[in-house]
Amino acid sequence: MAKKNDTPAKSGTSAAPKRNFFRNVIDAYNITRRSFPWVPWAMLTSTIVLVGLNVWYMIWTESWIMGSITIVMLLFLVPMLWVSTLMSKAMLRQIEGMAGAVGALQQLIRRSWIADSQPVAFNKEQDMVWRFLGPKGIMLVSEGPHSRVKKLLDDEVKKTTRVAAKVPVHVIESGTEDGQVRLENVMKTMYKYPRALNRTEVPQVRKRRAAITRNEGLPIPKGVDPMNFRANKKMLYR
């Protein structure tokens, strides 16, 4: 009896990853298409052009086997390339304005950067300030109206400079108001600053900065999950 129960369990677990992969691909495509309605046409046009060039090359060189393999690969890779290129930008567009949206950058930022898992400052209106540390220095990224986040940013700049006085501290206001940076462009703005720290200095600054984090003890605002936007996936996938 035990053997009979084990067999279906194994087959079920082995089939699950395949279903999850294709479902993730479909979800990623739907999210991308919602922000970029022209994506299906771009996929179709680029695929037709590349396949056509490959067919012409097959006829010219008579490489039928390699040409056929290349066509199959193009039919799969070209759409995947479009989705992978635009997926992050589409997701950031759709979560912009949600409480804790800047926290999603933790999963997208380059490996040379370190992001705090929680906002370092916030108020009762759920305006927040997030901190990122990397080769360009310390970045304080806010979310919320300028009139409300200015004091939060000023206070956090003072705290940060007391611990890391020689490290440049940059302020980026994320939002849709004049003078603010759209969420999808925040990382691009961060990377534009001049290099200030090398690979060995970043961990050292992180240790000094940890002293602030331990003493803050700030609770996460209600309704905000900075490490995971799964709570908002229904809005993305609907």
184-230 pLDDT, tens digit per residue, is 999 999 999 999 888 888 888 887 777 655 555 455 555 554 444 44
**58 contact partners, CB below 8 Å, separation of at least 6:** 64, 67, 68
Longest dimension (CA), the chain: 71
Q: What is the 3-state secondary structure (H, E, C) of the chain?
A: CHHHHHHHHHHHHHHHHHHHHHHHHHHHHHHHHHHCCCHHHHHHHHHHHHHHHHHHHHHHHCCHHHHHHHHHHHHHHHHHHHHHHHHHHHHHHHHCCCCCHHHHHHHCCCCCCEECCCCCEECCCCCEEEEEEECCEEEEEEECCHHHHHHHHHHHHHHHHHHCCCCCEEEEEECCCCCCECHHHHHHHHHHCCCCCCCCHHHHHHHHHHHHHHHHCCCCCCCCCCCCCHHHHHHHHC
Q: pLDDT: is 182 or 216 the higher one?
A: 182
What's the start-to-end Cα distance of the chain, in Å? Answer: 43
**pLDDT over 50 (residue 121):** yes
Tens-digit pLDDT profile for residues 13-24: 444 444 577 777
Confidence band of 58 (pLDDT split at 50, 70, 90) = confident
Say what the pTM is.
Answer: 0.67
- Domains of the chain, by residue range, sit at 2-95, 101-237
Question: Do residues 106 and 227 touch, judged by C-beta distance below 8 A?
Answer: yes
